[in-house]
Structure 1
Amino acid sequence: MESRAVPIVGRDDEQERLSAFVTAATGGSLVLRGETGVGKSVLLEYAVELALHQGHTVVRATGVEAEAGLPYAGLHQLLYPLLPKTTGLDAETRAVFDAVFGHRDISPPSIMTLGIAVLNLLSEVAVDRTLLLVLDDAQWFDDGSAEVCGFVGRRLTGSAVKVLIAVRADVASRFDTAALAETAVPALSAEAAARLLDDRYPALDGSARRLILEHARGNPLALLELPTHLDTRSRTPEEVFGAQALPLPRRLQHLYSARIAALGEDVRAELLRGALDGVGAGPGPDHRYRMDDVDAAVSSGLVDIDPLSGDLTFRHPLVRSAVVQMATPNQRRAAHAALARVHRDNLERRASHLAAATVDPDEQVAALLEAAAVSATRRGGAVSAVAWLTRAAELSETAHVRSRRLADAAFIAGHSARLGQAQRIVQLDPAPDGRRSAAAVLASEYLALYGHGDVRSAHRQVAAAIEALGAEESPEVRSRLVTLLLATSQYAGDAVLWARTHQLLDAQAALCQPLLRIYSATWSDVVRHGASAAADLEKLSADLAQLDPWDVTRLSVSAYHLDVLGDYRPYLQRIVDRELATGAAATGITMLHLIMLDQMATGAWEDAEQTGRRSLERAEELDYGLFAHQSRSYLAQLAALRGRYDEARELHALVDSWARPRGVGFLTQAADAAATTVALSEGDFETAYLLAIGITAPGEFAPYTYQASRSLLDLVEAAIGSGRALQARTHALAARAAGLPDISPRLALVTFGALAMTAEDDAEAAEMMARAENHAAARRFPFELARIRLAHGLRLRSTSGETAQRYLSTAADMFGRLGAPAWAERARTELRAVDGETRSAAIEHTVLTAQERRIAELAAGGLTNKEIGRQLYLSPRTVSSHLYRIFPKLGVTTRAALRDALNRQN
């Protein structure tokens, strides 16, 4: 059957049963039974199409509630298209139909007589083709019609007539005792419900999707109807305070309205209190309202008794919604007021009910809502906090306090990935002189930075807003503007913008706040300002649970720059899921970035890959361009480390082409660092050196360039590999002179490693190597430690083979465990070369090609890659690649050793 344009979702078993029924050679009857909206009509339509495809005659009827009391109204609707066929029946049978349908004024026949007449008529119609009778909403058939249909349905075996009937499970009818074959139509499985919703509403945002799936409980009608009646852009205060009730379309409300209206006033009030407090809404607080004295609602099929707990619960979430919507505004407010008294000891529940019960401005209620918003934010409920603060603003008694609360709501909305909502909130509070308010600047420039990466425009607008701040501006708004300016400056990575930032902050005296001092020191230039920040960071981070999620994240960013992020990662991993779901989702993406960076640093690369993919997916879903490309830059570095060079190059190109025109130096530096790792992994030291000095020149750490210190080993190793020993040594000494070991444990490790790699004598190399290996945090950074051990093993190869072998073996094992194939192979190659016998054999049996030998001779003569390339008409990169292959063949690692190795081969 291929005629349906839209496939039926999640009904494979039911379709199989219907297909067997329709195509069977003999007649029969089948009842489809399920709750309202579960999809019975869709299945009937499937059966009709299949029957028509088979060449059957199809007759359809639908029960109508308004005609349920009219004798034989349902039967008349069903048989009306067939009555012309009665002319072929005997006079006695025709008389039965005339009596039933009012053509003659005679006594109506018995059910059996009428049933036999109907069987005769159906047999007459089905002489040439199978006849399928389809009855939808048959629970509304009048009793007489239902009994006749039951009588007929039990006598169709062996005929060419089939009857297919759909009835509601929650409405009693004569078909309940008709003894006809039945098949249940249950709610859709969770998987099928999600698939149906996603197929029909692919653009639905995550929170609305979860809300609808929760309330629909697999009911297809609810899944398809609710999204069109829900504002999916944000959850309004009515939704949050109103009680777990979705706006219910009339089609769905009608299902329960009559039964609710028939209840007494006290019962309806009790149901309303239960509905407004979320009774039966899934897992919730133990102190959720408990309904009582609602036996009538139980009898009406609106309320069930939980078999485990004995608690009363609504039969379906849509019942709860219908109860709320049928109540008047005054009834709802009275119920909320009663519930606020019930929950007087629960801050958030009391505040939410008071907010819904209050009409006029009330500062006491507004303050309670504000306190609830603070509590919710720190527990991962930033989405709810936005609504509570907006409602608190509406109930504020003064314009100044109202403005402050709206600004808070807009700020949290921005961090909750609801940028459009943030913009709408600030429009509720325009500045009196027509200028944009500070809150409006925060909302718009937050979007400019994180959505579009527009660092220069954002910096200019935020700086202007800070300059224009009046003395009356709240400390919160001032602090938030300064923090956004610092974040914009960090992403720009531009010395000129940072100078402007510090000039503004000095003039505003904003850095008197400890948090802002930490951010300014660590986000700007950790080489020049980071050493003094570590103690303050530890003090301010003593109790992360008491901080807002964005401050937790900002302190964690500072921890990353100081290379102590591992102390924060367990807490971030505990809260990131809740922030992404119901909290500060944008902040949650930054948490994922930080978790990924620490996983990379500690060698958990497989976990880091999964975290990075997750952050990229979430950033793309929320349309945060800056965060998406930041994820790609980290994934590029990870791909380079793991030997997937084509992937790394592709990601590098994507990030660079987006970030460089916008001046997002933070990302261009990260992308270039990944490209440097690719070149080093491939042994292309010339390219690696050119990329590394693009970040910072040898012997200095460019101001406000966060990758300058992080790429220390890259520049040193690339310089040594490309024959620039002087530049390598200069850079290592500059690291020590700049005090890098005092800034962070990682910088201490790499500084000592760089000094060991470039030491002028073996004693200094041994001392620096010992300081690197014995550093308390050395093993927290396994990749850097393995690189340093590899380099030291190469240095010792000619003087202490046994010690060199130990270093190289350890490095090879570490690279292997990390999953860095190129580095592991390089270490293994050097390890084989250390063994004198193997080394001699390798040299003896290794034959250089003519071109390789010529390149080796020129390099041994002191020519640079560029000079060799000029002589041989090759690119410097090709020369570097040849040398990468030549070195292991000759058992050397530096150009200085090339001459002796070539002489041994002669």
Structure 2
Amino acid sequence: MGAAMLVGREREVAALAQLLDRTPPRGAVLLMLGDPGIGKSSLLDEAESRGRARGFRILRLAGVECEATFPFAGLHQMVGPVLDHVSLLPRHEREALLAAFGLVEGPPPDLFLISLAVVDLLAAVAADRPVLVAADDVQWLDRQSHEVLTFVGRRVAGPVVIIAAMRRGHAGSFLHAGFPELAIGRVDDDAAAQILSAHAPGLCPAERRRIQREALGNPLALRELPIAMAAVPSGGLRPLTLSDRLEHAFAGRGAELPSATRDALLVAAVDPAGDLAEIIAGTSALRGEPVTPEMFDPARAAGLVSVEEDRVAFLHPLMRSGILQAESLARHQAAHGALADALDDVYRRTWHLAQSIVGPDDRIADALEANAAQALSRGAVFSAINDLERSAHLTSWSALRGHRLLMAAGHAFGMGREDIVHELLQSAARTDLTDLDRARIEWLGEMFDHTPGGAARVNELCDLAVRSAPADPDLALDILLAAALRCWWADTGPAARARVVACVDRLPETVGDPRHLTALAGVEPVLRARQVIEALTRTPPGDDGDALLVMGLAAHAVGHMALAAELLARSEVILRRQGRLGLLSQVLTTQSVTYVLLGELVRAADVAEEGKRLAAETGQPAWGAGQLVCDVLLKAFVGDAQEALRRAIEAELREARGRNVMLSMLQLARGLVSLAAGRNRDAYRTLRAIFDPAEPSFHQRHGFASLMFLADAAVRAGHREDARELVAELEMIARETPSPLLHIHLSYARGVLATDEDAEDFYLAALRQDLSNWPYARAKLELAYGSWLRRQNRVRQAQSLLTSAQSTFDRIGALPCGDEARLELQATGAPIDWPESSAERLRQITELSAQRLPDDEIAERLSLPRAVVAMYRDRTRPGTHR
């Protein structure tokens, strides 16, 4: 069969050979996509044969449609043969992988820790010889195995090659991971004729032409349609799709077999395990009499199955589906029931029992809920969701049915799967839910509600929390945290904020819960900042990664960025150790914004990049919006003006509309770009809008991060008095909050906006603050104070401060500010060492200036702000820099 299937596949075989011959040291992945019967499995066999000849260790796995709900069934196929290497893994990875297979007891492992364990296991095996993973019918792998295979493909390490085959028309993370693809299409007419001649030499020319026309270059169809046509007296074929015709052909072939063989094939078709003894026992139970393995002989002779090493395997997936298609629903149920009677494994027995009935059965529904708990203990969250959903369908009591659907939705929420949550909530809403479950459905729906703001919705959530609090204060706190997040994201007004705070304060039993603090911080980041900071600083950090993340969010919300960075860093270490990459991506995204506001731009870029990658790997696109806004700010801080503006537009179109906190950050980025370009009036107008409650970009706490730059723009645009009035207003707010973000920015603004008589006192006071965690702010103060000293002709003092500022800006990646500090230093007469990047800019500007091009055109050609062009030209004229 394999040799015939490979006729006309020279291109595909060459691609596989090249992949195996040139395996890169860091591995490779290839996805073969094609229709049923097109030859993907035969190409996998060819790859396996070539890999074995080249010394590869071969690991195979194949999805089976009816196996898709069994936890880690596909993964066990793949790594089962190399589990003897598991001792080489770190303890936490080893325990997670063994727990996934039910081989050890322990806490439920995280799916991504299991995935990391598989990555490291394959790398350990590949240390001896290269490894080829051949994965067939990926679309039918159980969901956990599918996700693990995708993760491993993204992080494949060492000489490991993954070649996977997948049917067209199916979705899944492996398909959407961006792996290189090899399209497996039809064979050409010459190859089709060769295959047909080899397998149906007796056809007349008319029959040959018809078969080739019907087969559409599909190798399996070229083999099977002649047999099917011969079985139909008229020689006709049904007007169905090609895969349907093949399924009918296989079904027809099975219909001619003896009764016992048909029963055995049906039991084998509904049993994904393929264990011969198990299938014999199930067939015996179905027939009510003992049967022997010889019952498969007619099926083997008909080319439907193979029986080797006590296992039964269909020779093609369409053969399995064809057998199932030919049988009635009642026969399917009977086969499942017979297998359930024959099985000792409680999990699998329950699953087959659930497939053996249609109407409600509370006993089986209860057993399925227990199955879900077992799946969760092994880290198989998707299997648990499926078990709970099926359990709900078999539950007679409507309220309990809805509760089980909500349990499934809760697990889907934990995985960040908005699509699954939405479907389950829709189903649950059609049941007679209890009041508490009505509250749960509202909360779960709220967590994926991307509509911004809304004081009315905030009040609805508060009402819901008040009703839920007596029975479930934990749920009430979750609901109030959701309400607080609405207040954080958008301007919901003081009345709505006060209502949330009052409701949170009426939950004294949750005071020690980090969510309690985060709710207060999110809804009143100024008025409750002192309470939040004091609580965070006196609470031992502990080793709970989830709690540390929530505490870090609270610190971030009130503007204590150094504390937020510390808490998030602790959370990051713990979550990495636990392999909880889904939550880790959220930590990294929050860290990246925190580092930007602290001024650690290089670190911000590093964690942002990993956060985006992990969000993609763990299926959490919702976190991409916040990361996009952070990217805009990063680009603005490092001087990439065009990219900052392009991404700002993208963020506004995608996610930021109606979300004041995002619009505030985007407005800051635009202000920074205008300031760098010398458009000082535009910069001031842009930044001033952040502090205007009538503007959509107004966000009181996020406005704190813009004050430093607004002061710069005010001086350059001639708006000192207006800026001083704003600073006076913020001084009053500063009495209410110890937020370091506000106090540091205020200290800078005081010095920049002061008269020459008062400026030095303000600068010195600002520099006496603890700025050890605020490198950008310290360097900005040194630059501003150093520039003021230069203008006062106090050159030696100026040089010391400007040198320190330049060094810090270079270290953290704020290149435009670093160059500005160099120009100020040059104006003092100090010798300057220009970095290679700055020297290259200068060379390009000098060459274009020699062509007498205006600054505007040079700026456009080099994608630089006009002010930067002017700044570099001024470099040759000491003392002329502003």
Output the TM-score relative to the length of structure 1: 0.53
Residues 638/882 of structure 1: CA separation in 2 closer, same or farther (3 Å cut): same
| 1:312-323 alignment runs, 5 A limit | none
- Read off the aligned partner of 2:204 and give its amino acid letter: L
* SS of equivalent residue, structure 2 residue 633: helix
* SS of equivalent residue, structure 1 residue 528: coil
The answer as to 2:43 corresponding to 1:12 is: no
- Read off the aligned partner of 1:706 and give its amino acid letter: R
Residues 817/516 of structure 1: CA separation in 2 closer, same or farther (3 Å cut): closer
> Is 2:195–2:223's contact at 8 Å kept on the other side of the alignment?
no
Name the residue aligned to 1:681.
Answer: 676
CA distance in structure 2 between the aligned counterparts of 1:316 and 1:541, rounded to whole angstroms: 56
- Read off the aligned partner of 2:189 and give its amino acid letter: V
> Is 2:548–2:570's contact at 8 Å kept on the other side of the alignment?
no
Name the residue aligned to 1:329.
Answer: 333
> Is 1:413–1:422's contact at 8 Å kept on the other side of the alignment?
no
Shift in Å, 1:354? 8.4
> Is 2:637–2:814's contact at 8 Å kept on the other side of the alignment?
yes
The answer as to 2:162 corresponding to 1:47 is: no
Name the residue aligned to 2:704.
Answer: 709
Shift in Å, 1:509? 4.2
- Read off the aligned partner of 2:788 and give its amino acid letter: R
> Which of these residues, 812, 815, 822, is aligned with residue 809 of structure 2?
815
> Is 2:747–2:766's contact at 8 Å kept on the other side of the alignment?
yes
Name the residue aligned to 1:649.
Answer: 645
Residues 465/792 of structure 1: CA separation in 2 closer, same or farther (3 Å cut): same
CA distance in structure 2 between the aligned counterparts of 1:260 and 1:743, rounded to whole angstroms: 84
> Is 1:275–1:321's contact at 8 Å kept on the other side of the alignment?
no
- Read off the aligned partner of 2:686 and give its amino acid letter: L
- Read off the aligned partner of 2:567 and give its amino acid letter: D
| 1:360-399 alignment runs, 5 A limit | 360-362=361-363, 365=367, 368-369=370-371, 371-372=373-374, 383-394=382-393
Residues 357/76 of structure 1: CA separation in 2 closer, same or farther (3 Å cut): closer
> Is 1:633–1:655's contact at 8 Å kept on the other side of the alignment?
yes
Q: How many residues end up aligned between the 2 structures?
A: 627
The answer as to 2:776 corresponding to 1:788 is: no
* SS of equivalent residue, structure 2 residue 703: helix
Shift in Å, 1:559? 4.4
* SS of equivalent residue, structure 1 residue 771: coil
Q: Deviations over 1:670-712 (max 9, x none)?
A: 22121122123234443333333322279xxx99623122223
Bigger Rg, structure 1 or 2: 1
Q: Deviations over 1:205-243 (max 9, x none)?
A: xxxxxxxxxxxxxxxxxxx999x99xxxxxxxxxxxxxx
* SS of equivalent residue, structure 1 residue 711: helix
Name the residue aligned to 1:891.
Answer: 879
Shift in Å, 1:38? 0.8
Shift in Å, 1:792? 3.1
The answer as to 2:537 corresponding to 1:544 is: no
CA distance in structure 2 between the aligned counterparts of 1:664 and 1:493, rounded to whole angstroms: 8
Residues 321/824 of structure 1: CA separation in 2 closer, same or farther (3 Å cut): farther
Q: Deviations over 1:1-29 (max 9, x none)?
A: xxxxxxx998625799xxxxxxxxxxxxx
- Read off the aligned partner of 1:78 and give its amino acid letter: C
CA distance in structure 2 between the aligned counterparts of 1:527 and 1:758, rounded to whole angstroms: 24
CA distance in structure 1 between the aligned counterparts of 2:209 and 2:350, rounded to whole angstroms: 57
Shift in Å, 1:421? 0.9
Q: Deviations over 1:367-395 (max 9, x none)?
A: 5356457657xx5x654443343345456
CA distance in structure 1 between the aligned counterparts of 2:425 and 2:811, rounded to whole angstroms: 49
Residues 15/828 of structure 1: CA separation in 2 closer, same or farther (3 Å cut): closer
Shift in Å, 1:488? 1.7
Residues 569/324 of structure 1: CA separation in 2 closer, same or farther (3 Å cut): farther
The answer as to 2:644 corresponding to 1:639 is: no
Name the residue aligned to 2:821.
Answer: 827
> Is 1:525–1:704's contact at 8 Å kept on the other side of the alignment?
no
> Which of these residues, 786, 793, 802, is aligned with residue 796 of structure 2?
802
Residues 311/367 of structure 1: CA separation in 2 closer, same or farther (3 Å cut): closer
CA distance in structure 2 between the aligned counterparts of 1:739 and 1:490, rounded to whole angstroms: 19
CA distance in structure 1 between the aligned counterparts of 2:256 and 2:555, rounded to whole angstroms: 61
CA distance in structure 2 between the aligned counterparts of 1:710 and 1:9, rounded to whole angstroms: 65
CA distance in structure 2 between the aligned counterparts of 1:530 and 1:789, rounded to whole angstroms: 29
> Is 2:667–2:686's contact at 8 Å kept on the other side of the alignment?
yes
Name the residue aligned to 2:593.
Answer: 597
Shift in Å, 1:831? 1.3
Shift in Å, 1:168? 10
Shift in Å, 1:75? 4.5
CA distance in structure 2 between the aligned counterparts of 1:493 and 1:530, rounded to whole angstroms: 18
> Is 2:543–2:574's contact at 8 Å kept on the other side of the alignment?
no
- Read off the aligned partner of 1:533 and give its amino acid letter: V
Q: Deviations over 1:559-590 (max 9, x none)?
A: 43242145325755996999999x7xxx8875
Name the residue aligned to 1:275.
Answer: 273
Shift in Å, 1:612? 7.6
CA distance in structure 1 between the aligned counterparts of 2:800 and 2:256, rounded to whole angstroms: 84
Name the residue aligned to 2:288.
Answer: none
Higher relative contact order structure (alpha carbons within 8 Å, sequence separation ≥ 6): 2
Residues 77/264 of structure 1: CA separation in 2 closer, same or farther (3 Å cut): closer
CA distance in structure 2 between the aligned counterparts of 1:576 and 1:616, rounded to whole angstroms: 14
Structure 2 gap ranges (5+): 1-6, 16-34, 44-182, 227-240, 278-291, 833-864
Shift in Å, 1:529? 1.5
CA distance in structure 2 between the aligned counterparts of 1:351 and 1:754, rounded to whole angstroms: 69
Supply the RMSD in Å over aligned alpha carbons.
Answer: 6.3
Name the residue aligned to 1:407.
Answer: 406
| 1:340-359 alignment runs, 5 A limit | 342=345
Name the residue aligned to 1:491.
Answer: 489
Residues 643/768 of structure 1: CA separation in 2 closer, same or farther (3 Å cut): closer
> Is 1:515–1:540's contact at 8 Å kept on the other side of the alignment?
no
Name the residue aligned to 1:668.
Answer: 663
CA distance in structure 2 between the aligned counterparts of 1:757 and 1:400, rounded to whole angstroms: 65
> Is 1:260–1:323's contact at 8 Å kept on the other side of the alignment?
no
CA distance in structure 2 between the aligned counterparts of 1:885 and 1:165, rounded to whole angstroms: 68
CA distance in structure 1 between the aligned counterparts of 2:607 and 2:395, rounded to whole angstroms: 46
Residues 44/394 of structure 1: CA separation in 2 closer, same or farther (3 Å cut): closer
> Is 1:44–1:134's contact at 8 Å kept on the other side of the alignment?
no
Name the residue aligned to 1:871.
Answer: none
CA distance in structure 1 between the aligned counterparts of 2:431 and 2:639, rounded to whole angstroms: 54
CA distance in structure 2 between the aligned counterparts of 1:750 and 1:10, rounded to whole angstroms: 67
CA distance in structure 2 between the aligned counterparts of 1:225 and 1:541, rounded to whole angstroms: 62
CA distance in structure 2 between the aligned counterparts of 1:9 and 1:740, rounded to whole angstroms: 80
Q: Deviations over 1:276-333 (max 9, x none)?
A: 8999xxxxxxxxxxxxx98998995957989xxx999988777888899988434435
Name the residue aligned to 2:177.
Answer: none
- Read off the aligned partner of 1:824 and give its amino acid letter: G
The answer as to 2:567 corresponding to 1:567 is: yes
CA distance in structure 1 between the aligned counterparts of 2:762 and 2:266, rounded to whole angstroms: 86
| 1:24-39 alignment runs, 5 A limit | 36-38=37-39
Q: Deviations over 1:739-785 (max 9, x none)?
A: 59985665665555556656736466335314344x3x34xxx4334
CA distance in structure 2 between the aligned counterparts of 1:260 and 1:784, rounded to whole angstroms: 84
The answer as to 2:420 corresponding to 1:427 is: no
- Read off the aligned partner of 2:568 and give its amino acid letter: Y
| 1:738-817 alignment runs, 5 A limit | 743=738, 750=745, 753=748, 760=758, 762=760, 765-773=763-771, 775=772, 777-778=773-774, 782-797=775-790, 798=792, 800-817=794-811
